[in-house]
Amino acid sequence: MSVVTERFDSTLVVTIDRYEKRNAIDRNTSEQIESALNELEDDSSLRAGVITGTGGVFCAGSDLKAEIGSNYMPRGGEYGVIRRRRTKPLIAAVEGVAFGGGFEIALACDLIVASREARFALPEATRGTLAASGGMFRAQRALPRNVANELLLTGEALSAERAYAFGFVNELCEPGKALSAAVEFARRIRKASPASIRATLAVRDQVWEHVEAVGWNATEEHLESVRRGPEMAEGIAAFFERRPPHWAD
């Protein structure tokens, strides 16, 4: 199993457990996240969810050795979570790196609790590709515009302290404490009316529905053009060979 679930009262904790791969996600892991979040949505005894990683790492994104597009799931989209319409809050508990798709998972959540040592990055441009799981447009919404541009154009990491100052991270905690802090956050949320929470999430999704549709269409259009060129293959090869990429121009 590459995903482990545990219940704390009416909170479901979903843990990505591929530490040897820095919790990078392949199809099997996506299927298990999909199943876990389906359980959260469909079980009336559950009121909130937390998604986290193991071994002091949140998630390093897609497993680049996996087949392109293989992480798309029926209900949740990419990784079983990115395009999911939820009626229950989902909190990201981030330790260590949340890079690429890991950052995009955090962007898909409602709240973020992070260790002071956590780092967020969208390194896709340095690998000749795009942040294709919502990062291209959700980062612009969650962060100041120029900060989002900085992350998307340089691929460099954003510290948890800086992310908290921008309001992207809801709560900072000491290393090793993100999960317990997120479970406590969920306990606070559970004091609210379930009907009110469902309505709140529904209104939020409806407000952003048009923006999301435009963002997905634009991302898919330009991702296809990137995939047809030579730089994506070079960027990924350079990543695995631990060397700087050699771009054509």
pLDDT tens figures, 172-225 = 999 999 999 999 999 999 999 999 999 999 999 999 999 999 999 999 999 999
Residue 209, domain member (yes or no): no
Name the catalytic one among 31, 41, 78, 104.
104
Indicate left, alpha or beta for 215 from its phi (over 0: left) and psi (-120 to 50: alpha). alpha
Buried b (16+ CB within 10 A) or exposed e, 93-116: bbbbbbbbbbbbbbbbbbbbbbbe
CATH of the domain at 155: 3.90.226.10
- Phi-psi region at 69: left, alpha or beta (left = phi > 0; alpha = psi -120 to 50): left
On whether residue 40 sits in a domain, the answer given is yes
Is-catalytic flag, 174? no
Residue 68 pLDDT > 80 = no
User: Does 104 qualify as catalytic in the annotation?
Assistant: yes
246 domain residue, yes or no: no
Structural domain total, the chain = 1
68, two tokens:
């392109």
pLDDT of 101-122, one tens digit each?
999 999 999 999 999 999 999 9
Domain hosting residue 105, numbered range: 3-175
b or e along 215-230 (b: 16 or more beta carbons within 10 Å of the residue's beta carbon)?
bbeebeeebeebeeee
Of 34, 41, 95, 124, catalytic? 124
Six-digit token string for 87: 């009626």
At 76-100, the pLDDT tens digits run 999 999 999 999 999 999 999 999 9
Question: For residue 83, is it within any domain?
Answer: yes
